[in-house]
Amino acid sequence: MRKPTIRDVAERAKVSLKTVSRVINNEPSVMQATRARVLHAIAELDYEPDPSARNLRSATAFVIGVAYDNPNPYYIISVQNGVLSACRETGFDLQIHPCDASSPLLVNELCDWMRRSRLAGLVLAPPMSERMELVEALASRGVKLVRIIAAAEDPQDGHPCVFVDDRDAAYEITEHLVQLGHQRIGFLWGGQEHRSSSERYLGYEKALQDYGITLDKHLVVPGDYTFDDGFRGARRLLALRDPPTAIFGSNDEIAAGVLAAAKSVGMNVPYDLSIAGFEDSPFSKQSWPPLTTAKQATEEIARHAARLLIAQLRLDAPEAPVAAVHNHGFVPQLVVRGSTAPMRPRPPPAQDA
């Protein structure tokens, strides 16, 4: 038997082909009763739209892309899942594109990818989303995009974004450690090309300042968002003559590396050392003890970014909805688990003879 076509759906629902297309694309201009009739006909006929054929027939593309460069697989999977859920809700399809954020040819690479794949627009993940020269170059070539960025507030720079207040969440994590009695709190950076890492550091720094704790630069270690850098950074901190009683890793993968380093030297977490991470990835729940962290709703953030992009694309359509679309902010929330505890007094560090 031949597969049902959009014409069969239109005949069954007694509407025009254009109306069926509007329902499939989840456009808001269709009356509810008509939409229900079309959806009923689609279900009865078991009709499945062909996205590639739809793109070729239409002047409008129905595929969006996600471009990313991030060493954290859990983050990328969450971003993909979030964008994909928005695409399924709105009749769009998704393509993903890993790339090198530092490449001098990245603008041409992304534009070539968009042209070959007939993409309607892009969701840009960090750190590319935070490179303004890249964003402006893409915008100057007519690329529709929405950025996911780390920012304490809406940048209002004319380029659509979903912004995540990592600074406030990092302040809350550091405050939690201070209130447990910790004064010597180590900080392990993530990749410095990611604005999230500097925003988390600023939150850590401000909390120490507000609680009257002098920042000790020996307790701050550069690195990347990886388990290995968390392990190496923690071993470096724990080798200090006056080591920290708590360590804040810029993400859960780093914090899991800290936990492994602490156990490798026989430390009892959280009683000998408190550890906190960031993002609430599977690392935070699968570790033992489970990690105190900041719950970052990465999937929901990405879903919102995709919906913002699709709304922008529809505003450019001839029959655009009246409502405007706006940037949206998220604040990760503190989650206290078993890796942090009140500080135990330590004997003073040995004095030089």
Nearest to 49 by CA among 106, 79, 91, 84: 91
Please compute the mean of the pLDDT values over residues 124-148 and round it to a whole number: 92
Nearest to 22 by CA among 6, 8, 11, 40: 6
pLDDT(317) > 60: no
Greater confidence, 28 or 118? Answer: 118
pLDDT digits (tens, 9 = 90+) for 77-109: 999 999 999 888 888 888 998 988 888 899 999
Please compute the mean of the pLDDT values over residues 106-119 and round it to a whole number: 91
What's the distance, CA 4 to chain centroid?
39
Please, which residues have CB within 8 angstroms of residue 108's CB and are 6 or more apart in sequence? none
Token pair 């359509």: residue: 317
Q: 3-class SS at 342?
A: coil
* Alpha-carbon distances of 96 from 143, 144, 311, rounded to whole Å: 16, 16, 20
Q: What is the pLDDT of residue 202?
A: 97
pLDDT(213) > 60: yes
Tokens of 242: 């006056």
Token pair 């983050």: residue: 75
pLDDT(322) > 50: no
Token pair 């062909």: residue: 50
Domains identified in the chain and CATH numbers: 6-49 (1.10.260.40), 59-165+297-332 (3.40.50.2300), 166-296 (3.40.50.2300)
pLDDT digits (tens, 9 = 90+) for 266-312: 999 999 999 999 999 888 998 999 999 999 999 999 999 999 998 88
